[in-house]
Amino acid sequence: MRNINMKIIFASIFVLMSSFMMSQSTLQLKLSLLGLHPFDETNSHLFENRLDANGIFITEPGLIFSFENFLRSDTFAWRGMFGFFSDAASKPAIFLHLGVKQRLVQIWRNSFSICAGGNLYGRNLWGTIPGYITDNSWSANGDWEYKFGFMVELEYALFLNDKNDITLSVIYGHQPNTFTFSVGYKYWLSSIIKNPKRCGSCPFEKTSKHWTP
C-alpha cells in the first residue's frame, strides 16, 4: 500500500509540473549589489562595508533565482524565489519567497509589475559578533537563525524577443527593513497561455508560442 501511495504522489507531482511547464512560465536570475537601510536598526553599528558614515548604504552582493507561472494571460502569476547574499554584517544569508505578481502597465516592449508575498529569512548567527544586541525576533537553529517577513518588488521588464527579457527591480524585504536594487535576465520556458484574454492586436504580448514583435 505504501508503494502505491508513493507512486500516486510522484505521478501527481509529475502531472502538476507538466501543467506548469506547458503554460506560460519563466526562470529569472537577478543580481544585486547594494543594500539601502533607511530605518533605525538595533544592530546598525555592526554593519560592515559601509558606503556612508551613517550606514544607510551598504555593499551587500547577492543572487536571486526566481520561477514564475502565469495564471491569467501574461499579467498575473505566482512565483517562488530563492536568494543568497552577504548581509549587512558580511555574514552569509538566504531567503525563500512565495508570492504573486501583477502587471500594472505595458507600453510597447516596456512593462511594469508589482510583486508581493511572504519570506523566510535565514542568516549566519549574529550573536557571535562582538557588540551584538539581542534581537528576539530571530529564532536560532545551530549556527543559523531564522524569521518570517514579507517582500515587495517593483519590476521593469524590457521585452527582447519571445524568450528573453531584461529586468530592473526595486525590492523591499530581501532582508528585514532593507531595500535593494537588481538587474536581471528572464528566460521564458513557455509562452503558451492557460487563460488568454481577447485582444484584437497585441504585438508585444507573449500570448502565443511564437511571439513576433
> What Å distances lie between residue 161 and 31, 164, 204, CA to CA?
21, 5, 9
pLDDT of residue 20: 46
Exposed/middle/buried for residue 56 (C-beta within 10 Å: 0-12, 13-18, 19+): middle
**Is 135 inside a domain boundary?**
yes
**Is 63 inside a domain boundary?**
yes
- Domain range for 105 is 2-190
Q: Is the dihedral of CA 41, 44, 48, 54 positive or negative?
A: positive
Number of domains in the chain: 1
**Is 209 inside a domain boundary?**
no
pLDDT of residue 4: 47
**Is 177 inside a domain boundary?**
yes
Q: For residue 28, what is the domain's CATH number?
A: 2.40.160.20
Residue among 141, 162, 142 nearest 26 (CA): 162
**Is 164 inside a domain boundary?**
yes
Local confidence pLDDT in tens for the 213 residues of the chain? 444 444 444 443 443 444 444 468 999 999 999 999 999 899 999 999 999 988 899 999 999 999 999 998 778 999 999 999 999 999 999 999 999 999 999 998 999 999 999 999 999 999 999 999 999 999 999 999 999 999 999 999 999 988 999 999 999 999 999 999 999 999 999 766 544 555 544 555 555 444 444
**Is 204 inside a domain boundary?**
no
**Is 211 inside a domain boundary?**
no
**Is 201 inside a domain boundary?**
no
pLDDT of residue 190: 73
Whole-angstrom distance, CA of residue 81 vs CA of residue 186: 13
